[in-house]
Chain A
Amino acid sequence: MNTLPSYLQGISRVVVDAAVSASPVALRVRERLPHLTAEVLPEGETLSSGLAREDILYLKQYRGRFLRHCPGTSHYRCCGYQIVHIGENCPLRCSYCILQAYFQDRVLKVWANQDDLWRELDQAFSANPGRRYRVGTGEFTDSLVLEALTGYSRDLIEFLGRYPQVCLELKSKVVDLSWMDVVRDPSRVLPAWSMNAPAIAEHEEQGECASLEERLAAARTCARAGFRVCLHFDPMIHFPGWQEGYARTVEMIFDHLRPEEIAYVSMGSFRHMPDLKRCISENFPESTYIYGEFITGLDGKQRLLRPLRVEQFRFLAGALRRGGLDRQLYLCMESDEVWQAVLGRTPADLGGLYRHLMAQAFGDEGNE
């Protein structure tokens, strides 16, 4: 247990569906948490819903779709990547995390029936071998936060090695590079880390997240090993001193990485369904950024008033451009008007955001 990262040491209970109790993931978890006896749920039973327990790891036989489209909203430009759904929830405690409002419980769920996952992915990727895919696992959980227990990303990378038309993005706030040695082609894996202003990383990303310095050092390790990395400024937070904060983070980025080592950088302003505000005010009463000037956007979500977020985007984009990034920059869930105001172009000018990012991901900008 002592070898486990600190963010996993709070797990006190393991529950596993009988159907997946002998799966590679379940065996690994047993081996890596030898002090815990896994409770096996008989066929037909399931863990009661609504448990506010992030100390429970539930290895589940998942019956839904594994490969999904990103749940973008209307009126705004979505990056169009596809989600490989490997589990839900996260033991890290980021005040702004949408998962607080998205799921009814906090149980750490892992879809342990990987054979079903491999079958579905094979069917999708084999059905149209000429089509390229940009996929990621960091939508409903952190891609790597459970890696030390489950080895899930390592398995996924090994599996996807057979499909050169697929590029996998691993988005995280921790440092776990244990998967690197199974990568056949570094150009088909994009390690990605969340970036924010230092004050936000320190105060709003609680729960043993890696520091910005550690994330960027890991990104540099990956870059030196031949990977291109992705960085995500999402959510950008409007707080007193945000200019200095984001400027400092950009400095740190270019202290660690060269522009050509970065596949793309996203920028997204904090936005949320109304329920999340209540979750944040209850769970993180010290977090006052939720009292900024938010309005109801065209998709019904709360967003920072447009001039305020355009100002933030312009500031960040300007700093990143001065460091040598340009076409790698994109905005997450913004309108053409905001794109134009911030980057001086719209997704249409790039041939569409989906196509552009596909090209960036595969490292063939201009050929897509």
Chain B
Amino acid sequence: MNMVDNQLQSPARPTMLRCAVSDIEVGGPWLFWSAPPSPSLRRSLKNHGQLMPVLIDAGGARPVLVAGAARVAALAELGREILCLDLGALSDEARGLVYVRSNAGAELTDGQLVLALRYFSALSDVDMEQVLEALDLEARSKRLRLVRSWLTLPALWDAFLGAGAVPLACADVLEAFAPGDLAALEALFAALSWSRGNAVNVLTWIREICARDGVSAQAVLDGVGLQQILAAGLSPKDAMTRILHETRLRRYPVLSDMERDFAETARRISTGTRWRVAQPDVFESNAVELSVRLTSPDGLRAASAELACIAAREDLDGLFPVGRK
């Protein structure tokens, strides 16, 4: 997007001018979402020229780019002059707001919101209400609460968020980790992209093990065998499944043992039959559920015979682990 809203800055009358790329200062921190020019932008500029001006602040000694970094980069590659709209002298807050508004239209990702708010939060005397309005963010929304939690993390975590390796939903649990623990956790997200549910679970379990046992996140990850899992050449999906499994084992050791024993028993007694055996309520009752899916009377008769065989077994105690005790 490279739309310009003349209403943005009230006092100055925007002025159009042409500049050489070398004349423009292009590294401002308010260009927080800037990315290299896309092939289509390059093609468009090459074939049709610059149809929209970039936004600059020429109020100082040297023009400063306020919005349009991708176009400037692409035009620089083409060796062309830049068509600029000078908005006059702007504060850092105003530059950020112009940048946000010039990019308005597309739904902002969580990563973009974090980058924007990290910029504005670092400024003093910012009208946050105006910032939130520009970002189309409700002041009391859960999303803003999570972004605020996220901003307590070191800025290097923004890259994990931007890359989709860790979801914003993890902000609360990440915020609770000490800086040293956060550094240890980077290994989880450097090579793997986690779904929201799995990321929240693995981080919550790690944090709770740390709190329960008084150990560091690094110690928990060592116990889980993170480095070995990452080095085992597993697919990302299998690696994450393994990490989740190993972490849960340590967070819920007794329950995990019971589930393993039950699963072994269920497998042993139901192998070769069409029955499924399950414990329905995390061992809160002695109940066991046996289920079968049938499509014909013959299937029903066969399943009945199989059930009779199961019932005649003498190794059923494992199905009722708590009741037996």
Q: What residues of chain A have their CB less than 8 Å away from a CB belonging to chain B? A: 281, 288, 291-293, 295-298, 303, 305-308, 310, 335, 337, 341
Contact = CB atoms under 8 A, between A and B. Distances in A.
A279 to B, nearest CB: 14
Contacts of B209: 291
A337 B285 contact: yes
A307 B212 contact: no
A298 B287 CA distance: 12
Interface in B221-271: 252-255, 258
A353 to B, nearest CB: 18
5 contacts: A291-B208, A295-B282, A296-B282, A310-B325, A337-B285
B126 interface: no
A297 B283 contact: no
Contacts of A303: 284
A281 B211 CA distance: 10
A276 to B, nearest CB: 15
B305 to A, nearest CB: 31
B257 to A, nearest CB: 10
A293 B285 contact: no
B284 A308 contact: no
Nearest to A314: B325
B281 to A, nearest CB: 6
Contacts of A305: 252, 254-255, 258, 282-283
B286 interface: yes
A341 B255 contact: no
Contacts of A298: 281, 284-285
Nearest to A337: B286
Interface centre among A305, A306, A310 (most CB of B within 10 A): A306
B59 interface: no
B323 interface: yes
A47 B212 CA distance: 40
A317 B60 CA distance: 81
Contacts of A297: 284
Contacts of A310: 322, 325
Contacts of A291: 208-209, 211-212
Given A307-B325, A308-B254, 13 more contacts: A288-B211, A291-B209, A293-B253, A293-B254, A295-B283, A295-B284, A298-B284, A305-B254, A305-B258, A306-B284, A310-B322, A310-B325, A335-B285
Contacts of A281: 176
A310 B286 CA distance: 13
Interface of B: 176, 208-209, 211-212, 214, 252-255, 258, 281-286, 321-323, 325
A337 B324 CA distance: 11
Contacts of A341: 322, 325
A307 B252 CA distance: 13
Nearest to A307: B322
Contacts of B255: 293, 295, 305
Contacts of B211: 288, 291
Nearest to A335: B285
A307 B253 CA distance: 12
B252 A293 contact: yes
Contacts of B252: 293, 305
B320 to A, nearest CB: 10
A87 B209 CA distance: 38
Contacts of A292: 212
Contacts of B286: 337
B323 A307 contact: no
A308 B285 CA distance: 14
A305 B251 CA distance: 13
Nearest to A311: B325
Contacts of B176: 281
A293 B281 CA distance: 14
Interchain residue pairs A-B with the least CB separation, the first 8: A291-B212, A295-B282, A291-B208, A288-B211, A293-B252, A288-B212, A291-B211, A305-B255
B325 to A, nearest CB: 7
Nearest to A292: B212
A310 B325 CA distance: 10
A333 to B, nearest CB: 12
B255 to A, nearest CB: 5
A307 B325 CA distance: 9
Contacts of A296: 282
A103 B254 CA distance: 34
A297 B212 CA distance: 22
Contacts of B323: 337
A121 B255 CA distance: 47
A297 to B, nearest CB: 6
A307 B321 CA distance: 9
A291 B325 CA distance: 25
A275 to B, nearest CB: 14
Nearest to B208: A291
B60 to A, nearest CB: 47
A205 B283 CA distance: 31
Nearest to B214: A288
A99 to B, nearest CB: 23
A310 B321 CA distance: 13
Contacts of B285: 298, 335, 337
Contacts of B282: 295-296, 305
Nearest to A303: B284
Given A288-B211, A288-B212, A307 B284 contact: no
A194 B246 CA distance: 39
Which of A293, A296, A298, A310 has the largest number of chain B CB atoms within 10 A? A293
B213 to A, nearest CB: 9
Contacts of B214: 288
A269 B285 CA distance: 16
